[in-house]
Structure 1
Amino acid sequence: MLGVEPQDIEVLKTELTLEPIRADSVIFLQTANEILHIEFQTLPQSTPAIPFRMLDYSVRLKRQYKCDVIQVVIFLQETTNEVVFTEEYRDNTTTHHYRAVRIWEQQPALFLNNPALLPLATLARTDSPQSLLGQVAEQIATISDREERQNIAGCTEILAGLRFQKDIIRQFLREDIMQESVIYQDILQQGRKQEALKMSISLLNYRFSELDSSIIARVQVLSVEKLEALIKALFNISEVSDLVAWLDEEESN
């Protein structure tokens, strides 16, 4: 079949397992009976490589939903890497196509007229990035709904950080508005949890030379408030059994 004489032969399992993967955005377009799959990338490096990932996503989506899949990769940060100019996966037996959108090549007007797209406008094509950031800030200021204004400002700060220094962003976007954004607060909360988890694991390793992986797993899913409570409790916990009892009590609350 291969036309060559193999030196080593190994019989592989016929049962193929699929590792779970998570797409950025998958939307069912009911009128066209199609799926729109969108991936956002800041950097072109990826494992597995982006072209193969798009093939993998497409096959899985078609298997599950049995309809056509339209795929778009949106690259946010300007680069000359050839991956951002690639729109297909190809090997000896397969060719798969998708679309690549490079935000830095897009006209700002595409985003400035839609409040939901204002954060992307900060990365669009321009000869004067700071003037463009000013235009975005002006558009955000015209949004009448306070919660929507706060959330869009928070998202804008995040994406603008791919092009601008923090002090420049703060010149155009009011810090108090951004800090009230639920997206901004969620990011702060995640950072706070990472710090609390890091400190908790360090204290556990210091207090107990070896801990069962199941106990570590229980600690990792604690909320930031309970992690902070655990840090305080560890000053009075000397036995693993006491730690397990503390976890049992917290999980029951």
Structure 2
Amino acid sequence: MFDSTCKFLAESFSSDFASWLIGEPIPLTELSPSELSLEPIRADALILLASEEYILHVEFQTEPDPNMPYRMADYRLRVYRRFPQKQMKQVVIYLTPSQSYYVYQTAFEIPGTRHEFDVIRLWEQPTQLFLESTGLLPLAVLTNSPDQAQTLRQVAVRIDAVPEMRVQSNVAASTGILAGLTLDRDVINQVLRKEIMQQSVIYQEWKEEFLQEGRQEEGQSLILRQLTRRIGGVTPQLRSQIQSLSLDQIESLGEALLDFTESADLVNWLQEHQAS
């Protein structure tokens, strides 16, 4: 959820992020990882934005990642292969405080090779900078603030001043999600207007995602009850495999189990559908 929120912000307010990270309000457009010829290492966290001269590569992290230096070096080479003439800025942004060695790593090193990248630890950043750009407002509560609840109230005032309702609702929803990393939900609900957040595109997407997860859990529970009636108890191993199925696979299993008479039928079905 936090990765997708940050990705949404960077892509929706690319000029704000360019001003912050590059130092110029350069218009940037999304660059698909597929344009780099190879599959991304971790597509859900990958943000690539491009202009005529720059490639901006941003990774947001809630936890330290020992593989981050390698990922930075790998993507730098991929981008150079595809766009050798473009400058590239790479930034890892850590969202939550940590004393781990990994959040201080700024280079990938092996014998004969060294690649450097930038690291930003939000909890060390001055809050005021993030209160001055609409696209950065949701990050403000994670910065070096002595009173995060008060910072959230400052953010809410600025959100209310955004003239375009769609932008206002998207920024409010993003703020509510990211504030959850550091503040209680009750505090967030008291400060941010829920009716504004509910109008946002990302709120609707998350709502649908949660509903999908709910349907999947409900389907798993129903399948397990039906299997118990038809073939007796389900072993923990088989239960684990069933819980790993997608919603479509659960629906298919619901139809297939009508013909099951013993556990072997379930085992065979799971093998055929490559459940693990």
TM-score normalised by the chain length of structure 2: 0.66
Asked whether the 8 Å contact 2:216–2:247 carries over to 1, the reply is: no
Count of residue correspondences: 206
| 2:78 equivalent in structure 1 | 60
* % identity of equivalent residues: 34
Distance apart, 1:178 and its partner CA: 1.6
Distance apart, 1:107 and its partner CA: 1.4
Distance apart, 1:220 and its partner CA: 2.9
Once the two structures are overlaid, the 10-residue window that deviates more, 198-207 or 128-137, is 198-207
User: Which amino acid in 2 is paired with 1:45?
Assistant: D
Does residue 61 of structure 2 align to residue 41 of structure 1? Answer: yes
> What is the root-mean-square deviation in Å for CA atoms of aligned residues?
3.0
Which of 116, 122, 125 is the equivalent residue of 2:144?
125
Distance apart, 1:173 and its partner CA: 0.5
Does residue 56 of structure 2 align to residue 28 of structure 1? Answer: no
Which of 118, 122, 130 is the equivalent residue of 1:111?
130
| 1:243 equivalent in structure 2 | none
- Partner SS, residue 258 of structure 2: coil
User: Which amino acid in 1 is paired with 2:73?
Assistant: L
| 2:246 equivalent in structure 1 | 220
* C-alpha separation in 2, matches of 1:164 and 1:80: 20
Does residue 113 of structure 2 align to residue 91 of structure 1? Answer: no
- Which protein is bigger by CA-based radius of gyration? 1
Distance apart, 1:237 and its partner CA: 7.4
Deviations 1:227-251 (A, max 9, x none): 8xx59x94897249xxxxxxxxxxx
Deviations 1:36-64 (A, max 9, x none): 10111111135xx1111111221222223
Asked whether the 8 Å contact 2:219–2:247 carries over to 1, the reply is: no
TM-score normalised by the chain length of structure 1: 0.71
| 1:251 equivalent in structure 2 | none
Query: Structure with the greater relative contact order (CA < 8 A, sep ≥ 6): 1 or 2?
Result: 2
More helix as a share of residues: 2
* C-alpha separation in 1, matches of 2:81 and 2:209: 34
- Partner SS, residue 142 of structure 2: coil
Distance apart, 1:201 and its partner CA: 4.4
* C-alpha separation in 2, matches of 1:239 and 1:203: 16
Which of 148, 163, 175 is the equivalent residue of 2:182?
163
Deviations 1:78-123 (A, max 9, x none): 1111211111011223211000011111112211111111101111
User: Which amino acid in 2 is paired with 1:196?
Assistant: R
User: Which amino acid in 2 is paired with 1:88?
Assistant: A
User: Which amino acid in 2 is paired with 1:185?
Assistant: Q
Does residue 161 of structure 2 align to residue 142 of structure 1? Answer: yes
Which ranges of structure 2 fall in alignment gaps of 5 or more residues? 1-37, 235-241, 261-276
Distance apart, 1:73 and its partner CA: 0.5
